[in-house]
Amino acid sequence: MSQAADDGYRSQLVAGLKATADAERLAAELAFAAARLAELAADPPGIYAEIAVASDPEEALWLAFLTAYLSPTEDKDPFAAIAAAHVPWASGELPKLDVPVGFRTSREATAAARTVVAYRQWAQRAGSQRAAFAGEAAWTPERRFDRVFERLALPGFGRPGRYELLVSLGRLGVVDLRPSSLQFTDDATTVAAKRVFGIGDKMLLERRARDLADAVELPIEALDLALFNWAAPSAGRVTYGSRAEAGEGEREAIAEVLAV
């Protein structure tokens, strides 16, 4: 993780940033992440479109899990490896996991199958994937997100994959889910948040993340991808196969709130 030299920049919203360049880059990543979320809801790319229109909820959820678990690559066809790995849920077979993966994959090369097996067992205990994700009828979308996120803490399925899975399912309209926090753990996004907000306590991190999201008028989940991309500029932006481009006006509006 790199940060620019201190040039006197200061903002209470991002207390850890000391350089204008870092704040400008964060504004750009926030704008892109928000555009990507809007795209998922309105015109999802590639395999996300298949998930959104699938007639069988079990196949839609299974494909969404594989997409979040393996993560789209940044190649010419971001979804090719996921399509190659996919096997029908009803077959009961393990997917072909020895495929190229994206930067935010949860796959562990030496133990990839255990996560998929654990996921299948998790769904089977509930009776189906649909029942497992739905939880209780009385749950609000926010409560459902929190509870399912907790229950999906399967071996080898880290925070990036779980969070992306639930965000994508909500945005695609497959499950009524909506995050109210970033569910910080110990991943790269959490490390980036500590740098941006200048504090390590996870409860305070959540509060400051919410304050930033409210100030720039973006959904809280936009910060997940934005913080990850902000932290590793040399690796290039992770897009999840998105074709979205943030408008200059959107980026400038965020930059204005950050005083850059």
Confidence of residue 4 (pLDDT cuts 50, 70, 90): confident
With tokens 């935010």, the residue in question is: 104
Contact 58, 48 (CB under 8 A): no
Mean pLDDT confidence for 144-167: 97
Confidence of residue 157 (pLDDT cuts 50, 70, 90): very high
pLDDT in tens, 168-192: 999 999 999 999 999 999 899 999 9
pLDDT of residue 2: 60
**How many CB atoms within 10 Å of residue 98?**
12
Query: In sequence order, what are the residues at sequence separation of 6 or more whose Cβ sits closer than 8 angstroms to the Cβ of residue 204?
Result: 197
Residues 90, 88: Cα–Cα separation, whole Å: 5
Confidence of residue 6 (pLDDT cuts 50, 70, 90): confident
Query: In sequence order, what are the residues at sequence separation of 6 or more whose Cβ sits closer than 8 angstroms to the Cβ of residue 147?
Result: 135, 139
Residues 148, 134: Cα–Cα separation, whole Å: 8
Q: Is the pLDDT assigned to residue 66 strictly greater than 80?
A: yes
pLDDT in tens, 83-142: 999 999 999 999 999 999 999 999 987 788 999 999 999 999 999 999 999 999 999 999
pLDDT of residue 142: 98
Residues 108, 257: Cα–Cα separation, whole Å: 40
Contact 156, 111 (CB under 8 A): yes
Query: In sequence order, what are the residues at sequence separation of 6 or more whose Cβ sits closer than 8 angstroms to the Cβ of residue 62?
Result: 88, 89, 129
Q: Supply angle C-alpha 39, 37, 246, rounded to 5.
A: 70
Residues 202, 152: Cα–Cα separation, whole Å: 20
Contact 122, 152 (CB under 8 A): yes
